[in-house]
Amino acid sequence: MDIGLRSELAFSIGEKQSPTMQSVDIWLGSVLITYFDNAAYLPAFVNALRREVANIEKGEVASGYTFFNLGPTTDDAVARAKIIEDKIEVSCVLNNGNVVKVILFVKNTISVYKECIRVLAI
């Protein structure tokens, strides 16, 4: 199940491996950023999503903000973001050398995060 658009930002929810572990692929600008590890420990992952979406909603995403700080699932990606008006500029460097840069709408990003939280927190 994809939440969001892979060409922008999407969480692709996969199989549940245990009550607390689930496969979650994260796509940014059509690039899979969880290419190495997509096993999410749900209590920590959902908590990190909640913290990040709260920061976005409060506008606490200054230049250089560490984006996708979601635990071991995103250890192979270093993403920085900043909010400019109603958009978030994201630049992500992957350990495989790929660089992804996208501009996302704040409203859409919040919606994608909240839906992912809703689905995973069940």
How wide is the angle at C-alpha 90 spanned by C-alphas 69 and 59, nearest 5°?
Answer: 75
pLDDT digits (tens, 9 = 90+) for 62-100: 878 899 999 898 989 999 999 999 999 999 999 999 999
Number of residues that make up the chain: 122
pTM beyond cutoff 0.85: yes
- What is the pLDDT at residue 34? 93
- What is the pLDDT at residue 93? 96
Half-sphere exposure of 67 (CA within 13 A, CB side): 28
Give the H or E element holding residue 57.
Answer: helix 42-58
Tokens 């709260």 sit on residue: 54
- Reply yes or no on whether the pLDDT at 31 is more than 80: yes
| Sequence-ordered strand ranges (E) for 1-122 | 2-5, 9-18, 21-28, 31-32, 39-41, 65-67, 77-84, 87-94, 99-105
- What is the pLDDT at residue 100? 97
Number of domains forming the structure of the chain: 1
Read off the amino acid at residue 35.
Y
Domain that holds residue 54: 2-120
Nearest to 70 by CA among 90, 49, 56, 89: 49
